[in-house]
Structure 1
Amino acid sequence: MKSESKSQHIGSVMHHELKQTLGTWQLWGIAVGLVISGEYFGWSYGWASAGTLGFIVTAIFVAAMYTTFIFSFTELTTSIPHAGGPFAYARQAFGSTGGYLAGAATLVEFVFAPPAIALAIGAYLHVQFPDLEPKHAAMGAYLVFMALNIVGVQIAAAFELLVTLLAIFELLVFMGVVSPGFRWSNFTMGGWSGANSFSMGSFHGMFAAIPFAIWFFLAIEGVAMAAEEAKNPRRSIPIAYITGILTLVVLALGVMVFAGAAGDWTKLSNINDPLPQAMKFIVGEHSGWMHMLVWLGLFGLVASFHGIILGYSRQIFALARAGYLPEWLSTVHPRFKTPHRAILAGGVVGIAAIYSDELIQFGGQTLTANIVTMSVFGAIVMYIISMMSLFKLRRTAPDMERPFRAPLFPVFPAFALVAAVICLATMVYFNLLVAIVFAIFLALGYVYFLLTRHQRDAAPADVLLEE
């Protein structure tokens, strides 16, 4: 009987085990690819409230938060290389309830970001094919990239690396094409006042612009959710994270400065395609460069969309494996060794969000804006819990193996924590209705958490993380 029980346990673990196939370059591709769509759209709305110079201050503050966060977060990722990422760290530090809060926040971030990007993909395709309904195109993008994620993480990661490199190449081409028209005076003209008529001054505007600066870097932490599939996570993940955040900071500041210096930046501050419109200042509307930028712009969107599907599926998989979600969501495909049910479940929620205008379009904001804001709320709450977990584990588990230790501890994680709290307070102030909806999501999830303790008790033993 003992032998039979042991074999059943091993079979259960294998049934919920991911395959280790990812190398350093692939992890770097995931890190940058998860985020790079933020360089293509979304950020220029920050100019509307803060102006170019005011938004530079906001962007530098947020970049500092992300840089210190990633250097600190990497300690957690390498110490606990778990597909649950922040959920696993908080569970180790604060128990089941902490795990729930971090897992739920991460799930909101990664499930709500893809529909916003899918809608942007649909909008790009609609420009080229006017008869194509953007929402239908967005749903088509879900179907294609869910299928690609299901057939194997190695194929998915190779594709992610390819489109990420193409997206970076396009951003460099953009900066090169507009550089002949670069005028610093264009960028600084009216740079401390927003383009919106309701702008209330630069200081107020800089705080209002925080979500758009966060969009530059949102979701880079998703590499943590590929940790169980990394060949050597204790070495490859620090390299991927650090080089990834440095790549993104350089690209974000470069794209923003070159776009603003190309012409009248106020014409770029309330649109979804600032890069093509900035290029028009230099090459005109019918240039071949314009057509190239519009088509290649899809690579940046696809890289982030595809990468975040990988991220949300691993979060759903890890939560289900630990009994926080229904167990059947943690099943790994017998042939492809990917969490296919988790991939499909997140896609169903995302597609429903795309077609839920009446439910999500409230507070005077567009559907996309509210989806993005909801995703940012999840991210900020997760950042706060993760940094708290780092401090707690340093105190309660001093002997834990830490292949990478946060530099300048406790300064780096403390700065990341305080900055995240400032961002959260600002988000609540400027987006109260979305904050209330986010809080309702967490409350309903917590009721489910309390009612399903038996699922966690019956969950298979987690060989990477014991509660």
Structure 2
Amino acid sequence: MGTRPRTSAGEVRGASRLTRRRDVADLVAEARGGALRRTMGLTQLTLLSVGATLGTGIFVVLGQAVPEAGPAVVVSFVLAGITALFSALSYAELAGMIPGAGSSYSYAYATLGELVAWVCGWCLVLEYGVSVAAVAVGWGQYLNELLELTIGWTLPESLAAPPGAGGVLNIPAAAIVVLAMVVLLRGARESAVVNTIMVTVKVTALVLFCAVAFTAFRAGNFQPLFPLGMAGVSAGAASLFFSYIGFDAASTAGEEAKNPQRDLPRAILLSLGLITVLYCAVAIAAVGAMPWQKFAGTEATLSEVLVRSVGGGDLWPVLLSIGAVVATTSVVLAVQYGQTRILFSMARDGLVPPLFATVHPRTGVPRANTVIVSAFVTLLATLVPLGALADATSIGTLFAFALVNCAVLILRRRSPEAPRSFRVPLAPVTCVLGVLCCAYVMWGLGADTWIAFGLWMAVGFAIYALYGIKHSRLNRPAEQEEAVVWSR
């Protein structure tokens, strides 16, 4: 049974429903007494974030970024990593301070009020749910590539692509979402074990790529280092920023971490550091093995770099295609996990139906939540083309990142005495830079993305107005609040 939420000290009777807040102490107490099982240590939490971040992007992203930045694409990776670091530091402070399952949704609820928390949660539904569908579609493409390389056969286009992309149903995309659902239903511990294995495989694949590519390394490929100037470096960094999305996945596991105050900040920062080192190493190896001018006009997958520079026939394409399939699988698993935990928190607060907060007593998993989310994602992955899905994920992510940076500033002022296991260095400057970086990247998004975001938010506001505001736990006076059962 969960603890009863109180309104914060700043609230008074008759205050606007839209600005009412959850008390930080109550959020912490609720997380400690929650129904989810604490089974994850620092390693599992770090690999959860790595699993959600290190996916298909690195296997194809060089084809887009290298023509923009030239050999300085390595600098672009560093700049994109620093941009992500501003938000990662804020996530680390708040995850250690409020170790719940709601991630930035819970942080916004404690600082900016219920309406903004709902907006943040709804953005996270967009980020996590739609990105899982996009990655699942990409998984099907990698699977077909691997089948063609190994057995010379591929799935017919009618069964491997959605309507609008030459097919009828994308069966592989649906299959990987269902497979991830089966793993998640077994429990957080089992899911963490599977994720650890897959992350190990894809990190090994990237290390193998670097080792082989460095045998064909030519220092002259980096001269001049900035052929397209700093404008090219900035353009490359903007393209590469989205390769870092997912480092916040550990923050959704706050109620399943053994020592969340200590391990969550470490996991977020460790995962971002590991990912940045891998990205830079891959970029150095790739450009060192193949002149940057040859990346233009091609997808320039890592396997293509090795074939052009090292040779080896189909060996490297096969090995790296296996790595790509495994990488995509772990992203689907980790991000789908995060989606269910965010909806779990929103349901516990009464903003979405309580079914999403129902935990199975044997596995400790929100079973109905997991099945419903998986069904929704399967439908998207089966019927919607990859481009339309990928374009819809960016803006929700950046909006949530900006809110997290704002939340740190507000809590530093409102609750300076609250326990913090990690503090953002150089705040408030760091947090302000985080907000500005997110705003800058959002400003560069296309009109179609903003229109889609507006329509998504209109649907979200309608759901909040018709359901959330009425059923919110903070809408009930303390003397009338009913007991809430989290499991059955």
Q: 1:235 aligns with which of 251, 254, 262?
A: 262
Distance 2:251 2:220 in 1: 42
Distance 1:301 1:355 in 2: 16
- Aligned partner of residue 261 in structure 1, secondary structure: helix
Distance 2:482 2:263 in 1: 28
Distance 2:295 2:484 in 1: 50
Residue type of the partner of 1:323?
Answer: G
1:164-183 CA distance string (max 9 Å, x none): 12211111110000111112
Q: 2:410 aligns with which of 392, 400, 406?
A: 392
Distance 1:186 1:399 in 2: 53
Contact 2:67 2:293 (C-alpha < 8 Å) held by counterparts: no
Distance 2:128 2:298 in 1: 24
Using a 3 Å threshold, how does the CA distance of structure 1 residues 387 and 443 change in structure 2: closer, same or farther?
A: same
- Aligned partner of residue 216 in structure 1, secondary structure: helix
Corresponding position of 1:450: 465
Using a 3 Å threshold, how does the CA distance of structure 1 residues 46 and 192 change in structure 2: closer, same or farther?
A: farther
Residue type of the partner of 1:94?
Answer: L
Deviation at 1:404, TM superposition (A): 1.2
Deviation at 1:50, TM superposition (A): 1.6
| Equivalences for residues 237-386 of structure 1 within 5 A | 237-268=264-295, 274-284=301-311, 286-357=313-384, 367-386=385-404
Contact 1:62 1:214 (C-alpha < 8 Å) held by counterparts: yes
| Equivalences for residues 111-130 of structure 1 within 5 A | 111-129=129-147, 130=153
* Stretch moving more, 19-28 or 327-336: 327-336
* Stretch moving more, 80-89 or 250-259: 250-259
Deviation at 1:255, TM superposition (A): 1.0
Contact 2:87 2:402 (C-alpha < 8 Å) held by counterparts: no
Residue type of the partner of 2:196?
Answer: L
Using a 3 Å threshold, how does the CA distance of structure 1 residues 408 and 176 change in structure 2: closer, same or farther?
A: same
Using a 3 Å threshold, how does the CA distance of structure 1 residues 271 and 446 change in structure 2: closer, same or farther?
A: farther
Deviation at 1:356, TM superposition (A): 3.3
Deviation at 1:256, TM superposition (A): 1.7
1:15-71 CA distance string (max 9 Å, x none): 972111111110011011111115533422532762324644543322111122212
| Equivalences for residues 168-187 of structure 1 within 5 A | 168-187=203-222
Query: Structure 2 unaligned runs (5+)?
Result: 5-29, 148-152, 161-169
Contact 2:398 2:442 (C-alpha < 8 Å) held by counterparts: yes
Corresponding position of 2:456: 441
| Equivalences for residues 98-177 of structure 1 within 5 A | 98-129=116-147, 130-132=153-155, 133-134=159-160, 135-177=170-212
- Aligned partner of residue 215 in structure 1, secondary structure: helix
Distance 1:111 1:29 in 2: 20
Distance 1:37 1:341 in 2: 27
1:163-216 CA distance string (max 9 Å, x none): 1122111111100001111124335579645xxxxxxx973x656555531222
Deviation at 1:77, TM superposition (A): 0.5
Distance 1:435 1:256 in 2: 31
Contact 2:133 2:389 (C-alpha < 8 Å) held by counterparts: yes
Corresponding position of 1:364: none
Contact 1:34 1:304 (C-alpha < 8 Å) held by counterparts: yes
1:51 aligns with 2:69: yes
Deviation at 1:350, TM superposition (A): 2.0
* Stretch moving more, 182-191 or 105-114: 182-191
Corresponding position of 1:9: none
* Stretch moving more, 172-181 or 158-167: 158-167
Distance 1:148 1:299 in 2: 15
1:145-180 CA distance string (max 9 Å, x none): 111011100000111112112211111110000111
Corresponding position of 2:18: none
Runs of 4+ with deviation above 6 angstroms? 12-16, 458-463
Distance 1:147 1:345 in 2: 13
Contact 1:31 1:222 (C-alpha < 8 Å) held by counterparts: yes
Corresponding position of 2:11: none
Deviation at 1:401, TM superposition (A): 1.5
1:115-153 CA distance string (max 9 Å, x none): 221122111111233332432111110111111011100
Corresponding position of 2:419: 401
* Stretch moving more, 94-103 or 127-136: 127-136
Contact 1:40 1:297 (C-alpha < 8 Å) held by counterparts: no
- Aligned partner of residue 254 in structure 2, secondary structure: helix
TM-score for both structures, normalised by structure 2 = 0.82
Deviation at 1:344, TM superposition (A): 2.2
Corresponding position of 1:218: 245
Distance 2:95 2:482 in 1: 22
Distance 1:419 1:61 in 2: 11
Residue type of the partner of 2:471?
Answer: Q
1:352-375 CA distance string (max 9 Å, x none): 222334xxxxxxxxx323322321
Distance 1:461 1:184 in 2: 67
Using a 3 Å threshold, how does the CA distance of structure 1 residues 212 and 305 change in structure 2: closer, same or farther?
A: farther
- Aligned partner of residue 182 in structure 2, secondary structure: helix
Distance 1:108 1:153 in 2: 23
| Equivalences for residues 179-218 of structure 1 within 5 A | 179-187=214-222, 192-193=227-228, 203=231, 209-210=236-237, 212-218=239-245
Residue type of the partner of 2:452?
Answer: V
Deviation at 1:442, TM superposition (A): 1.1
Query: Structure 1 unaligned runs (5+)?
Result: 7-11, 194-200, 358-366
Q: 2:40 aligns with which of 22, 47, 56?
A: 22
Contact 1:58 1:206 (C-alpha < 8 Å) held by counterparts: yes
Corresponding position of 2:114: 96
Distance 1:353 1:269 in 2: 32
Deviation at 1:387, TM superposition (A): 0.5
Distance 2:223 2:236 in 1: 17
Deviation at 1:461, TM superposition (A): 7.4
TM-score for both structures, normalised by structure 1 = 0.85
